[in-house]
Amino acid sequence: MTKQFEDITFIDNQELYDKVSVYSEDLLKEATVNGALAKQGANNEYTREIVRVGVMCADYESIYMTFETLKFKKPSYS
C-alpha cells in the first residue's frame, strides 16, 4: 500500500476533497481485493488509513457541504 496525503490533517477545499475521496475509494477496493477487510474489526494498515482519510472527508463534508434533507411521504391508511 502506498500512502498519500500523509502531510495533511485537514481538508479545506473542494479540489483536495475530491482527490482524497478518490484515494479513499481506491484504498477500499485494494483492501477488499487483498482481504484486509475480511475480518470484522480488523486493525491493519488499510483500516487505519481508511479511517484517517475518512474522518478528514467527513469533517470537510460537515463544515463545507450542505445536503438536502430527505423527505418521506406519510403512508395513507385506507
pLDDT score, position 78: 64
Chain centre to alpha carbon of residue 50: 7
CA distance 70 to 78: 25
pLDDT digits (tens, 9 = 90+) for 6-49: 999 999 999 999 999 999 999 999 999 999 999 999 999 999 99
Distant-in-sequence, close-in-space partners of 78: CB < 8 Å, separation ≥ 6: none
Is the CB of residue 53 less than 8 Å from the CB of residue 27?
yes
On whether the pTM is more than 0.85, the answer is no
pLDDT digits (tens, 9 = 90+) for 56-74: 999 999 999 988 888 888 8
